Amino acid sequence: MGAATFSDLTLPQPIRAGSFIVTVFGDVIAPRGGEVWIGNLIEFCAPFGISETLIRTAVSRLVSAEQLIGLRKGRRSFYRLTDAARAEYRQAADIIYGPADDLPWRVLFFAQGAAATQIAAMGLHGYVALNDLCAFGPARGPVPDGALALTAPIDGAQDQLPGLGATLWDLDALGQEYEGFLTLAAQVEQMGHLPPPDALQARVLLVHAFRQIILRDPRLPSAALPPDWAGQRARKQFAQAYLALSDAADSHVAACFQGADGLLETLNPEGVSRYDLLRRSVNI
């Protein structure tokens, strides 16, 4: 492992058990059948200072939140993703592992007002309220029910787009978080060649750190981003690191992680497609 250990790494944010388990399920378990023995979770999370008690408490809360379903086989407890959780994880995976998308802009008009409340209630991530009636953001996804949409490319003084982005979205703070991720990724790279268990831990740690930022990123069109945007560099570094760690990481999962019927399944088609998406990010 070299001189550095996981305890030496500079984490952008502290690790919370519940959120970290969600990352483990999303990256490791969902692409391989969606079910795992809790003993694997306990062993995997121990190097990050997450105790067995915290694991069991977090898993219980995910069951209460209808994200997981528990089952017993003999003296062992297993947990699998609910159908609703699978759908959520699939949507998040497209954002985490996929390349950046450059979209036109959209203005949404809400005749009943309360635009800020409406976009929050509908989960319209990336939109900002311009006033009580209108919201503005990338034209991502279908037009929400009850809204009138004006979708079009930008025309005119396009050199003003970075200023627009900086005015309407807090890109400075987001950029600092991406710089923190780049520091973490560089530290992981300096650890050198890792044996399979450590490669998996390093990969999941990077997924967790990147996930916490990218899912809050408005993912603006590139023309509205600052020069040398840290988010673009972080996405590419994440993809490179993930691909570099995955042969060893996946071999550990295949050899050690278990579901109720034995070792986990091989990667499903969605899991395989992640690697194609990541290679696209590297080559952009």
Contact 64, 246 (CB under 8 A): no
Last residue of a domain, one of 121, 152, 183: 152
CATH number, position 256: 1.10.10.10
Are residues 37 and 92 located together in one domain of the fold?
yes
**84-96: average pLDDT:** 92
Are residues 266 and 178 located together in one domain of the fold?
yes
Residue 129 has pLDDT above 60, yes or no: yes
Give the pLDDT band of residue 125 (cuts 50, 70, 90): confident
- On whether residue 114 sits in a domain, the answer given is yes
Are residues 204 and 73 located together in one domain of the fold?
yes
- On whether residue 162 sits in a domain, the answer given is no
Task: Give the torsion through C-alpha atoms of 199, 201, 204, 209, to 10 deg.
Answer: -110
Are residues 125 and 68 located together in one domain of the fold?
no
Largest CA distance in the chain: 68
Give the pLDDT band of residue 172 (cuts 50, 70, 90): very high
Are residues 86 and 71 located together in one domain of the fold?
yes
Residue 156 has pLDDT above 80, yes or no: yes
pLDDT value at residue 155? 86
Are residues 19 and 74 located together in one domain of the fold?
yes
Last residue of a domain, one of 152, 183, 213: 152
Interatomic CA distance for residues 45 and 193, integer angstroms = 21
- On whether residue 164 sits in a domain, the answer given is no
- On whether residue 17 sits in a domain, the answer given is yes
Question: Angle 88-215-182 (CA atoms, 0-180°, nearest 5)?
Answer: 135
Nearest to 119 by CA among 265, 16, 218: 218
Are residues 11 and 71 located together in one domain of the fold?
yes
Q: Please give the single-letter amino acid code of residue 282.
A: V
- On whether residue 82 sits in a domain, the answer given is yes
Are residues 80 and 133 located together in one domain of the fold?
no
Which string of DSSP letters, residue by residue, matches 83-139?
HHHHHHHHHHHHHHHSPP----EEEEE-TT--HHHHHHHTT-TT-EESSSSEEEEE-
The count of structural domains within the chain is 2
Are residues 267 and 179 located together in one domain of the fold?
yes
- On whether residue 161 sits in a domain, the answer given is no
Give the pLDDT band of residue 1 (cuts 50, 70, 90): very low
Are residues 230 and 187 located together in one domain of the fold?
yes
pLDDT value at residue 284? 63
Are residues 175 and 123 located together in one domain of the fold?
no
- On whether residue 159 sits in a domain, the answer given is no
Please, what is the average pLDDT of the chain? Answer: 92
What is the pTM for the complete model shown?
A: 0.92
Domain region containing 177: 6-99+171-283
Are residues 209 and 83 located together in one domain of the fold?
yes
SS3 of 65, please? coil
- On whether residue 187 sits in a domain, the answer given is yes
% of the chain residues with pLDDT over 70: 98
